[in-house]
Chain A
Amino acid sequence: MGSTGLSNQVLSNIFYGTFGVPIKVAASSACTNNVIGNQTTGCTPELVSSDLGNAFGYMNT
């Protein structure tokens, strides 16, 4: 399947609690203005993207 030329988008979501990885997206995708906070254990944010404007709160990784 060929690309449409448009971008996948992960925008303005809130992630809280415990994750393995909150977000993992491809480099060509837009991943902006997400709030990732209050992580507890074992959480390594993995943003493979143009991660503009994402906010990271308290994390104990």
Chain B
Amino acid sequence: MAVHIGKSAEYPKDTFPSSTNIQSLLDGGEKVITLGAGSYSLTTALIVPAGVTLRGDGTGTILNWSSAAVITSMVTLNAGSKLENLLIQRSAGTVTNAVLVSGASAALRGVYFSSLRLSVSASMCSVSDCIFNGASAYVLLNSTSAIVSRNLFQSTQVGVYINSANGNLVVDNQLVGYASANYGVHVDGSSDYNIVHANVISNMQGSPGYGVYWPVQPGTV
């Protein structure tokens, strides 16, 4: 079973307001929640239950943090859950993570991070076909065995930061920096056996301005 919220070409008669309580839908037992066009204001964090998919329908769906509050994570993904095809931004307050992946085998696909961070703290997760735009938009991997593939990092100071984590694969991404960009891929020195493969990295012009920075021999930190 699935639930669709909001108007779209496919569902032209849906008239749910953009203030729909998304969390109540997520907790309602449906496995797929689809949001139509519009900006959905969030003032409390969303928790996506295990095995549930939250996605936009391709007509322009925005999750917007509109509270003046300080929030650690706008959206938390539990094991096996998915987030797809929408834009995440902040118009107020302070957001540490746009998305926190806290459950194994969760997946993000086609998510646009507007100057906000994705933090992955569970194993076997995947991040694909996403856009990270703005200095504060990047992927923080505290995890093992994640796959970061086919993403665009644009105008970021750091694209992917692997933080003492092992067995991750960063493959087939495009990373475009700017004048203050410091790292395309930054791997913490104690990380071991990660692979950075087939990426196109350009214009990391800041100080120090590394394309790939991985200076410490593994196992020595």
- Which positions in A face B, CB cutoff 8 Å? 1-4, 6-29, 48
Which of B40-48, B128-136, B191-199 lies on the face that meets chain A?
B191-199
- Give the number of A-B contacts (CB < 8 Å): 108
- Give chain B's interface secondary structure class: loop
10 closest A-B pairs by CB: A20-B209, A3-B219, A17-B203, A17-B202, A6-B193, A26-B217, A25-B214, A22-B211, A11-B197, A20-B208
For A11, what are the chain B residues with a Cβ–Cβ distance below 8 Å? 195-198
- Which positions in B face A, CB cutoff 8 Å? 164, 166, 187, 189-219, 221
Cβ-defined partner of A24 (8 Å) among B195, B197, B199, B210? B210
Min CB–CB distance B126 → chain A (angstroms): 19
For B219, what are the chain A residues with a Cβ–Cβ distance below 8 Å? 1-3
B218 and A16 form a contact (CB under 8 A): no
Please judge, given known A-B contacts A1-B190, A3-B219, A8-B191, whether A24 and B212 are in contact too, CB under 8 Å. Answer: yes
